[in-house]
Amino acid sequence: MVATDAEHADLAGLMNAVIEHAVAPMHSLGIRVVELRPGYVLGAAPLTGNANHLGTMYAGTLFGVAEMLGGALVVASFDVERFHPTVKHVEIRFRRPATTDVRAEASLEADTIARLRREADHRGKAEFVLDATITDGDGEVVAGTRATYQIRANRPGDTVAAETLDS
């Protein structure tokens, strides 16, 4: 699949609309998608509104900006008419305080996506592990996550936003 830059911009815009309208608390934390295309996602969260009294970013916002990456990658890389993402497990390691806006980045290789598509087609679900890195304004790593997501066949009423589900 080859998309134009304009189509990639639309994909990030679509995901931000999903966040705003379907996951209000994530939107209220200022978490947003900056870049999104099949296999790649870049998210961001502002320090403003997320700082504690010491001027460092709230741990829950760092979690949130990384957690949503897996859902965004599913939206960008799979047929959302047929499948939706769920998150099963997240591990986050805090490396240093974040005292600036942050970015979070993750990617899935094309052959991994192809394998997951085949598996989801065949079994109605597929699972993947995603590593993400959260960096501050100087490019220093402030936290890292490893998360497990599941791609699940839609039932009537399901839509594209991530939900948390039992395995």
Q: Is 17 in the site for its own copies (CB under 8 A)?
A: no
State the Cα–Cα distance between residues 36 and 113, nearest whole angstrom.
15
Nearest distance, CB of residue 164 and its own copies, angstroms: 4
Helix axes 5-22, 59-77, angle to 10 degrees: 130
Q: Is 97 in the site for its own copies (CB under 8 A)?
A: yes
State the Cα–Cα distance between residues 108 and 78, nearest whole angstrom.
12
* Residue given tokens 């200022």 in the structure block: 30
x/- string (CB under 8 A) for its own copies, residues 74-93? ------------xxxxxxxx
* Residues with Cβ within 8 Å of residue 99, at least 6 apart in sequence: 47, 55, 56, 57, 136
State the Cα–Cα distance between residues 72 and 23, nearest whole angstrom.
13
Q: Is 166 in the site for its own copies (CB under 8 A)?
A: yes
State the Cα–Cα distance between residues 97 and 30, nearest whole angstrom.
18
x/- string (CB under 8 A) for its own copies, residues 43-72? ------xxxxxx-xxxxxxxxx--x-----
Nearest distance, CB of residue 73 and its own copies, angstroms: 15
Give the binding range for its own copies (CB under 8 A) out of 24-32, 106-114, 115-123, 124-132: 24-32
Q: For its own copies, which residue of 3, 7, 17, 21 counts as binding (CB under 8 A)? A: 21
- Compute how many other C-beta atoms are within 10 angstroms of the C-beta atom of residue 78: 20
Residues that bind its own copies (CB under 8 A): 21-26, 28-29, 49-54, 56-64, 67, 86-98, 142-143, 157-159, 161-166
